[in-house]
Amino acid sequence: MSPRKPPEPVQVIKQRRDAALRALVDAVPYIRFLGVVFERRGDELTGILPYREVLIGNPLLPALHGGATAAFLEITAVMTLNWSYLWEDLEAGKLDLEGTAPQDLPRLPKTIDFTVDYLRTGLPRDAYARARITRAGRRYASVQVEGWQDNRDRPYAQATGHFVMPASRE
């Protein structure tokens, strides 16, 4: 019987996860353009759209632009789906994304359709979103996303998306 390998220190695991998430987010210019950032707790991601004046669509209200809201929800869905898809390989140490060139990163899921329900006015403040994968197969996935601002129990928008998963990395 071979001796067991000691577990990695928790800081090393956190650094690897954070570096992988940073590499995935930085590889998409539109995420940087909107200013979307992600908080990671274990395998769960929360998207954050920090408020900026350029995100206002109706200055009379003022209200967040519906296109910015839709893009934010779709980005959160795609990144959550990709994070879930890569999680096992990241944890097993099979995939190291730190320092990887954008063209060498795993491909993102492709959107088939994305339907947004605008439930209330997006106020001029930070917005948050969390996605839940409702079906994930080898070729297809379905995701629901909820966006809120001050109170998670009062979402201002929600969406459902269907995606084609990238070809297997094997």
**Report field, pTM of the whole predicted structure over 0.95:** no
Dihedral pair phi/psi, residue 78, rounded to 5°: -65, -45
For 112-161, the pLDDT digits (tens) are 999 999 999 999 999 999 999 999 998 999 999 999 999 999 999 999 99
Q: Under a CB-based contact definition with an 8 Å cutoff, are residues 30 and 108 in contact?
A: no
DSSP class of 7: P
Q: Under a CB-based contact definition with an 8 Å cutoff, are residues 127 and 69 in contact?
A: yes
pLDDT band of 99, cuts 50, 70, 90: low
Q: Which domains does the chain have, with CATH numbers?
A: 10-164 (3.10.129.10)
DSSP class of 5: P
Which pair of tokens denotes residue 85? 């898809």
pLDDT of residue 43: 80
By CB neighbour count within 10 A (0-12 exposed, 13-18 middle, 19+ buried), where does 97 fall? buried
Cα–Cα distance for residue pair 132/46, rounded to 1 Å: 11
Long-range Cβ pairs for the range 94-100 (8 Å, 24+): 95/20, 96/16, 96/20, 97/19, 97/20, 97/23, 97/24, 98/16, 98/19, 98/20, 98/23, 99/23, 100/23
For 4-59, the pLDDT digits (tens) are 777 777 787 788 788 888 888 988 999 999 999 999 987 899 999 999 999 999 99
pLDDT of residue 86: 83
